[in-house]
Structure formats: structure tokens, C-alpha cells
Amino acid sequence: MAAASESDAKLLELLKLPQDEEEVDGFLFSQMAWSIVVPMALRTTIELGVFDIIAKEGKGAKLSAKDIVDHIGTNNPEAASMLDRLLRLLASHSLLSCSVVEDPESSNNLHHRLYSLSPVSKYFVGDADGVSLGPSLLLHLDQVFTQSWLVVLDTGVGQAMTIVFSNNVVGVEHMGGDMFESVPNADAIFMKTILHDWGDEECLKILKNCLKAIPNDGKVIVVETMVSIFPEPTSFAENAFRNDVIMMTQMLGGIERTKQDFMDLANGSGFSGIRFVCCVSSFWVMEFYK
């Protein structure tokens, strides 16, 4: 694996732990609210037979998501990318092992991930009789089993309660319109958790419109979760990859991006530079300069 640059090393250092009590509280809430994502990703991986596919390749086998998809067989052109996003989440929880290598077919120094079985993975690989702990996990996540919890925890009043948490909206001026068509002129534009809703093509449209709307000394402030190339087992990485899987399943084109992805968006939309200011509760504050 290629050595990490000094800037990447600083990035990983910042991603290790929350920095104060308020960040910890917010982080714990996020972990509890979306704790179901990892078991659901694991269930999908088991149902696709990923653990068995890797095991059949022999001891120490390392397969890319594309290699695994070739074994599964599918006509979905996005299958390898989608599976990779699932597997890197599991790797950040040590349910798989992962190594990152340079892509020999890439001209832009891109990397891809290779997955192998971790010590925990063996529990999901069928033995000589085809037995593993996979079916037990699938049972626990079955609709019949999960609905039984609702019966046990029913308050007896015959009502369901839904609690909706929404992101804080920060801004000086709120104006209607279509951001894909135009953005109102401003000295600075603030966007929090907007870009992760959209694919690259849509993000470039939004950012190009933002570029037109700011003066030469203006800037666009973007707040988004950032994923690392290597799925290290840290709280921040787990949270970022979990958010990414949520975006993949809930928003068409939704994705959490890497540092390089944001740099590519800045360059592709015509900005002269981007500055990574700070990280707060797994969210990065970035400034795009005209």
C-alpha cells in the first residue's frame, strides 16, 4: 500500500476521536440512531454469499468488490461500487480485513480496496456441512423477530410515537428557487449536508452556480461527512461509512465522499482552491475559493 502523505496523516489523526463533551454526545446519538445499519449491511453481505466467495478462493485470498460481483453475477453496472461501500463499512468494524492498492488501470493515482476474511469472518463462512452463524443473524433481523420487540415494548395505549430530528438550518437569508438553475448572489454561501444527496454531475451544477454567485473574494462553505480511503477501525470512520450506506440506500446518487473527491469537485466546477478547515463530530468544514 502506498505511504500516506503528510496531509492525509494529519487528516487521519483528526478523525480518531471527538474533541469535547458536546461532540461526544452528538456522536453517541448518531451511533445509537443508526446502529441498525451495520447489521443490515452484514445481512446483505451474508445473503449475497460474500464470505463464502472469499473463503473459496483459498487462505489469504484478497478480492476486490468487482471480483466478488463477478462471482455473484448481476447486470447492475453499479453493483461493484455499491458492494464496495457495504464492505468498507464492515471492514471498519473488523468484520472483514481490507488493504488498499493502487489501481493499475488508473491514470489519476486512484486506489481500490481488496477484501479478505478477518478472524470474525470465519463465523459467517459455512463449514463442511454448510453451517455458520449467518442464519442466526438473519433470524434476529427477520421482520417476525423485530416486530416481537414492538409487542413487548408496546405502551398499551395503542398509539405509535414518531420523533423527528432535523438538521439545524443556519443562514442569513432564505430564498426560494432551483439551485440547479441559479443561486442568489452572496459574499459567502453556506451548504450543510447538501452535496451528499447528489451524484457528481448534480454537485458540479450546484457548485458552478455557486461560483457564479460569489465575488472574486467570496467563498462557498461546505459541511459534509468525509470518508477515508482505508476503512480504519475508528469511531469517526465507522460513522462516516455508516452514513454512506444510508445515503446509498435512501437517496438516488447519494454518497459520502473522500478528501480527493471534494478536491475533484472543486477543480471540476472551476474553483481555484479548497481548504479543509476543521472537523466537528465527524463533519468537515470546507471552504471553496473562487
The model's pLDDT over 22-62, given as tens digits with 9 standing for 90+, comes to: 555 665 666 666 677 888 888 888 888 999 999 999 988 99
Q: How far apart are CA 92 and CA 234, in angstroms?
A: 7
- Which of the residues 93, 111, 174, 196 is marked catalytic? 196
Residue 240: what pLDDT? 87
240, 228 contact by CB (below 8 A): yes
For 119, half-sphere exposure in the C-beta direction (CA atoms, 13 angstrom radius) is 0
Averaged pLDDT, 196-225: 93
CATH match of 36-152 with 1.10.10.10: yes
* Inter-CA distances, 151 with 40, 146, 161, 164, 263, Å: 21, 9, 14, 22, 49
pLDDT band at 195 (very low <50, low <70, confident <90, very high): very high
For 145, half-sphere exposure in the C-beta direction (CA atoms, 13 angstrom radius) is 7
**Domain 1-33+170-290: homologous superfamily in CATH:** Vaccinia Virus protein VP39 (3.40.50.150)
How would you classify the pairing of strands 283-289 and 219-225? Answer: antiparallel
Write phi, then psi, for 117 (nearest 5 degrees): -75, 135
Residue-range domain boundaries for the chain: 1-33+170-290, 36-152
- 0.75 exceeded by pTM: no
118-127 per-position pLDDT tens digit: 998 888 888 7
111 is catalytic: no
Residue 29: what pLDDT? 61
218-247 per-position pLDDT tens digit: 999 999 999 988 888 887 788 888 889 888
Instruction: Tell me which residue of 119, 147, 143, 123 sits closest to 133, measured CA to CA.
Output: 123
Cα-Cα-Cα-Cα dihedral sign, residues 32, 197, 288, 11: positive
Of 15-29, 72-86, 174-188, 230-244, the range with the lowest mean pLDDT is 15-29
User: Residue 240: which residues within 8 A CB-CB, separation 6 or more?
Assistant: 225, 226, 227, 228, 256, 282
